[in-house]
A and B are shown apart, each in its own frame.
Chain A
């Protein structure tokens, strides 16, 4: 790659690559994201390349970043036609080349069909993609994240060339404030204001950090952005560094994300070669360089003061704010911290302008960046929903649209499963019930519902999810992940965990609910950091919306979700056809019965693993709980 020595020269390089990209060229995009790789995309890409080389075809096979629809992987998209194939295997390759590529014939078994067996031909027609608005993810699926020329051919580094060629740092800060961009990592604080504070803070040296310590269980958008388009994040960071006056940057990324680290490292090297990173960037005298820091597996390090402590080589224990990192951050110097998705929005705001960005989303940010939620947000839609994966949607979209249109509704709805709640905001978020599904999704609305945006985890729960157990899960998660420094968080979580673990075993007491609420109150008010002050949200929100489930656990030992293993019994009903499948699969031989005879389940041997329930094709296994156990089993 030739080195650009002026902003003008960089623009010329970008234009050369843009022109070189033929939109009508025949290309095969194979998703090489972690999800698809887990389903075998790695060998598939190699096999595609080999087959095409063997046949001497003029077709480029691109190993792209994550397309988002991970559950259906490996995903393959043929360009320019846009034909979309899912769950593609190596043995399908010759047929794809012979039929679809050569003759335009479609292969039915590789096409996506929804629950109603409707077939969708092109990627953008698939319901999972149709209602999405892909900005941050626009290039994922089109470019090879290890190829700088691909990034350049899609306007890559154009925003940086504009900024360094035409603007003063203060103008960029103003632009980002006016755009209303708010932090995608959880807090929703206006990015431009953070930049302003860092820019105005006194310090001989300033730092910039990209928070890629995606610790929220159930969220993986930062991983996909870093894996799929690392230059986009870097470009955002370089623009930010120019705006705030930072000379050194860090990307703090989870060690569990090896591909993200590898792609980012490569992008840093390529960016230095291009002359957009390092000393005297594009000959403007502005210098900035980036280092990668690997996180050690601590959810609390997503909190900015804990993250800074960790970069400094100390335990990730938060300290009280103020002073905020913008004034006193890494090594005591002014430091700006933004999350991966936030950085990735920056180049688009520069390229397309503030008016375009504010046209997407909710509220009015013309007077204050707190006035609304602008742009898009990526959610990781997972759990008991048909289409799982990453979805990028405009702020303000109703929850129902995400869960039922994009997500395709509840998994196994034909077996009677129904929607119960959607959990947003990660472990510190809350569970939102059906009654609020038509609420628009943005920073402020989710807070009003007692949940939060968080980093964008969206976990769908069906009627076979116990909300007390969900609360217990999050409390036990946070009990381990808390740093333990302050009393309300450490001791509060300990006590909540004791109570909830008793409750899921059927040993709850009536007074427990008031104690849980008292604990929630002190944790919320008095904890030292955000982890502690939001740690009670899962308990408080489930107590608010699903209080009866708690009461049932306490009063009659009824687990509404039929999930708490001490409170349920599996029971074979008269619908049993004697097919023997449950008896064969039972790991503890608790089920006996002759072929075509009603089977019997020995309760004393049953470990309640649920294998029989999953295996039964005749709905002949019921899960009893509460008074049903005595009524049906006489226990």
Chain B
């Protein structure tokens, strides 16, 4: 256990616990966008900023999702400086992705400018990379990732083309905080619209429901060494 000061109160953090996790446990709300408990924290979006100092040293701003509690740490989640920075980050994100309900909700919560002072871009993605991290760390497909750098940074398939390693599992659709990765599905195919990846579906031999893309079956068999007939019926009928 590690004792730290959080918003003026002495609290016990677990070994290796991040300030974000600790604050959440203590009932303190810190806004996040690129954070997901299933993947390693990355500190990209800078929404979860907090102010901290070590042993009475200078106060610094950093992301609470990557900050691990250490003895002698003093953390403020609610200071003026924290809010000022979070608001500026939000203003930048809202200028990039105008009209996004999630960003507008965060802006209202934190009393940030609703009308950014910059020309609007027509993007739908904040480049938090959560889709790519889930694809690599949870699914293991490594189908999508970052391309280019700086203000040209983008996320998607290799060379920003349709990702051939995408198994159409939809994990990226599920985790995207901007809800900008859409999935369309009918009886024959499933399409991840943002990546322009369309895959024929496999139908359950019992109930006939198109439960999984064929390509996903192929990859699962390769990764997990599953028996040949394992994916002939859907999970519901297998019960």
Contact = CB atoms under 8 A, between A and B. Distances in A.
A522 B61 CA distance: 10
25 contacts: A320-B43, A322-B68, A322-B70, A480-B152, A481-B149, A481-B150, A482-B149, A484-B127, A484-B146, A484-B150, A484-B151, A485-B42, A485-B129, A487-B44, A487-B126, A488-B46, A488-B92, A492-B92, A494-B151, A521-B84, A522-B85, A525-B61, A525-B81, A526-B89, A528-B44
Contacts of A515: 117
Interface of A: 298, 300, 315, 317, 319-320, 322-323, 478-488, 490-495, 497-498, 511, 515, 518-519, 521-522, 525-528
A476 to B, nearest CB: 10
B183 interface: no
A182 B67 CA distance: 26
Contacts, number: 102
B227 interface: no
A491 B150 contact: no
A487 B150 contact: no
Interface in B68-120: 68, 70, 81, 84-85, 88-89, 92-93, 95-96, 117-119
Interface in B117-176: 117-119, 126-127, 129, 146, 148-153
B62 interface: yes
SS class, residues of chain A in contact with chain B? helix
Contacts of A323: 68
Contacts of B150: 478-484, 490, 493
B45 interface: yes
Contacts of B127: 484, 490
Contacts of A485: 42, 44, 129, 153
A528 B89 CA distance: 12
Contact of B63 (A315, A497, A511, A528): A528
Nearest to A494: B151
A291 to B, nearest CB: 25
B43 A525 contact: no
B152 A484 contact: yes
A479 B150 CA distance: 6
B45 A487 contact: yes
B66 interface: yes
Of A481, A519, A526, the most chain B CB neighbours within 10 A belong to A526
A320 B63 contact: yes
B49 interface: yes
8 cross-chain pairs, A with B, having the tightest CB-CB distances, nearest first: A484-B153, A522-B88, A491-B92, A320-B66, A482-B150, A525-B61, A526-B85, A494-B151
B149 A486 contact: no
Interface string B40-59: 00111110010000000000
B49 A526 contact: yes
A513 to B, nearest CB: 12
Contacts of B119: 498
A487 B96 CA distance: 10
A500 to B, nearest CB: 13
A491 B93 contact: yes
Contact of A521 (B88, B95, B149): B88
B153 A490 contact: yes
A251 B130 CA distance: 33
A495 B44 contact: no
B191 to A, nearest CB: 28
A487 B92 contact: yes
